[in-house]
């Protein structure tokens, strides 16, 4: 059948978070193509997307299909299933065959189907992305690789930085979801959520439905860190935003995410970025009087700080930003 190549590619790409090359479950590196639906499932994330493709059922290896569709230039392509191959034809020009599994394994059918969806605030998707950036990419403590959702909001920490976002979340109890799973809806508007016994479900405005495995655990108590007494406040010069953009190629991508390093001295603020490609340093004048101190900060949060002119507070051991609905803290060191 003839389909719009760009629209079909968009639908496939929205399901890539459910693709995995790890051999944890059979066909986890494939899209399950069925009439009017695309499914991907890697045992941690399930993606379902309505599809322009109809009348075909098979499991297609994701990599060759995506690479093929991205390199083609035709607006319309003809797709059919011939024995064990998905045939992609550009009428009168070329023909491509991708070997498929005609017996698709429906592991995803074990995922509970939500019965009732609850609408969420428009800010939910941005809050989820912002909080996920504070969870650890990798840690021996499982809870640090997760974000915690509660009826009152979201929070995360990697033991060096932490964030709380106040937002009404229509769930019955506190749950954990993996930071890595949150990327499935990053940049997409989340319209509604649902919870079942083992899964959290998200529905986007584009029609994508994502199910993320949910966990329970003892999330660190962050109350005392967020209530620490303010010792000084700091106004960051807007010119630092330009400095961050110039330094972007040198931010190290660590287990705690990208970090910009800052050093405070009397009347001076130094930005430093360093990775295997080199380093970047820049010093700016600033209205600060106090001991020399250093802190690391995700460049995204510095940009948010400057964009909305949020105050920056210094406590004995941390730097703190309070926004309209969130509070963020990062470890702070006093240096000689």
pLDDT (tens digit, 9 = 90+) per residue, 55-76? 889 999 999 999 999 999 999 9
Instruction: Let me know how long the chain is.
Output: 336
Whole-number mean pLDDT of the chain?
88
Share of the chain above pLDDT 70, in %: 97
pLDDT for 251: 84
Q: Are the C-beta atoms of residues 291 and 193 closer than 8 Å to each other?
A: no
Over the stretch 147-189, which tens digit does the pLDDT of each residue have? Answer: 999 999 999 998 888 999 999 999 989 999 999 898 888 878 8
What is the separation of C-alpha 253 from the centre of its chain, rounded to a whole number of angstroms? 15
What is the separation of C-alpha 310 from the centre of its chain, rounded to a whole number of angstroms? 24
Distance (Å, rounded) from C-alpha 98 to C-alpha 209? 26
- Give the distance between the most distant pair of CA atoms in the chain: 75
To 5 degrees, how large is the angle CA 192–CA 185–CA 10?
A: 110
CATH of domain 2-110: 3.10.150.10
Over the stretch 100-157, which tens digit does the pLDDT of each residue have? Answer: 998 888 788 889 999 899 999 999 998 998 899 889 888 889 999 999 999 999 999 9
Nearest to 55 by CA among 33, 77, 35, 38: 35
Q: Which residue in the block uniquely carries the two structure tokens 């009404």?
A: 168
Within this chain, domains 118-224 and 228-334 share the same CATH topology: yes
324: left (phi over 0), alpha (psi -120 to 50) or beta: alpha
Distance (Å, rounded) from C-alpha 190 to C-alpha 208? 9
Q: What is the DSSP string of 262-282?
A: EEEETTEEEEEEEETTEEEEE
Predicted confidence (pLDDT) at residue 284 exceeds the cutoff of 80: yes
C-alpha Rg value of the chain to the nearest Å: 23
- Domain locations in the chain as residue ranges: 2-110, 118-224, 228-334
- 214 vs 289, which has greater pLDDT? 214
pLDDT for 335: 61
Q: 118-224 belongs to which homologous superfamily? A: DNA Polymerase III, subunit A, domain 2 (3.10.150.10)
Kind and range of the H or E run holding 239: helix 239-247
Share of the chain above pLDDT 90, in %: 46
Predicted confidence (pLDDT) at residue 255 exceeds the cutoff of 60: no
Half-sphere exposure of 317 (CA within 13 A, CB side): 8
Cα dist. 37→40, 44, 109, 145, 177 in Å?
Answer: 10, 20, 14, 31, 25
Class of domain 228-334: alpha beta
């Amino acid at each position: 059948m003839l389909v719009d190549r760009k629209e079909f590619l968009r639908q496939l790409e929205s399901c890539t978070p459910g693709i995995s090359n790890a051999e944890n479950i059979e066909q986890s590196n494939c899209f399950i193509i069925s009439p009017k639906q695309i499914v991907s499932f890697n045992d941690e994330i399930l993606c379902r997307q309505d599809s322009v493709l109809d009348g075909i059922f098979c499991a297609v290896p994701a990599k060759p299909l995506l690479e093929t569709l991205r390199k083609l230039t035709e607006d319309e392509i003809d797709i059919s299933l011939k024995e064990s191959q998905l045939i992609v034809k550009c009428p009168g020009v070329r023909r491509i065959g991708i070997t498929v599994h005609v017996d698709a394994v429906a592991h995803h059918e074990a995922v509970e189907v939500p019965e009732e969806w609850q609408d969420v605030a428009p800010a939910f998707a941005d809050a989820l992305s912002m909080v996920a950036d504070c969870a650890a990419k990798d840690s021996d403590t499982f809870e640090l690789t997760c974000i915690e959702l509660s009826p009152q909001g979201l929070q995360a920490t990697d033991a060096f930085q932490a964030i709380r976002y106040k937002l009404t979340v229509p769930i019955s109890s506190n749950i954990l979801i993996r930071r890595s799973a949150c990327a499935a809806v990053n940049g997409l508007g989340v319209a509604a959520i649902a919870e079942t016994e083992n899964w959290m479900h998200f529905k986007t405005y584009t029609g994508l439905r994502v199910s993320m495995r949910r966990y329970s655990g003892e999330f660190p108590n962050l109350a005392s860190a967020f209530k620490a007494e303010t010792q000084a406040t700091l106004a960051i010069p807007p010119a630092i935003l330009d400095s961050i953009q110039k330094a972007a190629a040198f931010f190290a991508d660590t287990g705690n995410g990208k970090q910009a390093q800052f050093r405070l001295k009397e009347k001076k603020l130094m930005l430093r970025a360093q990775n295997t490609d080199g380093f970047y340093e820049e010093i700016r004048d600033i209205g600060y009087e106090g001991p020399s101190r250093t802190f690391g900060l995700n460049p995204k949060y510095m940009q948010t700080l400057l964009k909305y002119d949020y105050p920056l507070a210094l406590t004995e051991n941390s730097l703190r930003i309070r926004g309209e609905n969130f509070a963020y803290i990062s470890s702070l060191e006093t240096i000689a």
